[in-house]
Structure 1
């Protein structure tokens, strides 16, 4: 079906534009599916045991996932940022500190919104991790337009995975989100640093 509008003596064919829009939407949907498949494949590959064997000391607790030399716990409940951090501390961990885009990619997609261990409570606009190190704003992916300190009180960080809003985000600390705890394995796993 063709739709034509008459404007200033010229016809505009909307059908062509709708076809282009449909192709863009379909392509975006396929990219989302591909990203999901790649994330799952990466998680499965990184959770396989090494050929050298791991000692009990080097494996993550049950219900935790491994990436690099860290174990991650993804909550199924929703709590404030402070309550989420307290839960991590009770698990001998803390809210996750994201050190690289690779780690961020690994953590992206578990939930739509999940607390991470960054805040700018001390000084507005100066984001730091729970261990006091500054957040590398240029080295990580932020959601479009973030951080924006909307509504005058978004001092805690979360990781968003929505169709048009993916990356780090500032959010109200009292809001209820899921969260990610992180603990480091000691000694470091053999697949990060091969045994000699």
Structure 2
């Protein structure tokens, strides 16, 4: 009986030993699988991390670029379209402002009145300006800035530059005015309305949004 029990105990120990070995083998297999998993996952994890870094860098650069773009103010010197902003009761045309009087005085008083407004009796530099003055003045005669010492002398503007005779001045007077037909001349004592002109110092620049240039 004792021999049989010992044999059974030995067999039990053998079975227990076999089972333990199997467990050890399974542990080893698990370690190997874990190593394989680590080897598989490890190369991917840095790649994903680097990808995140790259995305963050791209977003950072985009934010900085946008901030710089928004912080830059348009320069006053940048090209654009110019629009006249003349004082009250003055009319803008091109780069000038014009004032058409309602009173009637002689040429000398008219020039003095224009000078008091930091202007002078009107001068024109092109047919477009002349046509504008003729059209806007209506039917009344208006003094302009042409004058001469005598019929033998050339016509000059109030800034003392010589008139280029773009349009001929008719009549025998020393002071020019505009009427319905063109430019005429008369004596200083004649009373007429007048036109003042001055360079537009209030010109504003508006950017051409639709034309990036």
TM range (shorter): 0.5 to 0.7
Partner of 1:68: 94
TM-score for both structures, normalised by structure 2: 0.54
Deviations 1:21-80 (A, max 9, x none): xxxxxxxxxxxxxxxxxxxxxxxxxxxxxx9686xxx51001000001100000000000
- CA RMSD for the aligned pairs? 2.8
Asked whether the equivalents of residues 85 and 203 of structure 2 are also in contact (C-alpha less than 8 Å), the reply is no
Q: What's the offset of the Cα at 1:189?
A: 5.2
| CA distance in 1 between partners of 2:204 and 2:120 (Å) | 20
| CA distance in 2 between partners of 1:53 and 1:167 (Å) | 30
Q: Secondary structure at the match of 2:112?
A: helix
Partner of 2:197: 182
Deviations 1:106-156 (A, max 9, x none): 00031421000010126734100001111121x22x4xxx4231xxxx100
| CA distance in 2 between partners of 1:134 and 1:52 (Å) | 31
TM-score for both structures, normalised by structure 1: 0.58
Matches within 5 A, 1:112-151: 112-121=140-149, 124-137=152-165, 139-140=166-167, 142=168, 146-149=169-172
Q: What stretches of structure 1 of length at least 5 have no aligned partner?
A: 1-50
Work out the number of aligned pairs and report it: 129
Asked whether the equivalents of residues 141 and 179 of structure 2 are also in contact (C-alpha less than 8 Å), the reply is yes
Q: Secondary structure at the match of 1:108?
A: helix
Asked whether the equivalents of residues 147 and 169 of structure 1 are also in contact (C-alpha less than 8 Å), the reply is yes
Q: For 1:168, which of 153, 174, 183 is the aligned residue?
A: 183
Partner of 2:126: 100
Q: Secondary structure at the match of 2:170?
A: coil
| CA distance in 2 between partners of 1:178 and 1:186 (Å) | 25
From the superposition, tell whether residues 148 and 122 of structure 1 become closer, same or farther in structure 2 (CA, over 3 Å). closer
* Structure with more strand by fraction: 1
| CA distance in 1 between partners of 2:199 and 2:104 (Å) | 24
Q: What's the offset of the Cα at 1:186?
A: 2.6
Q: Secondary structure at the match of 2:179?
A: strand
* Structure with more helix by fraction: 2
State which structure, 1 or 2, has the greater radius of gyration over its C-alpha atoms: 2
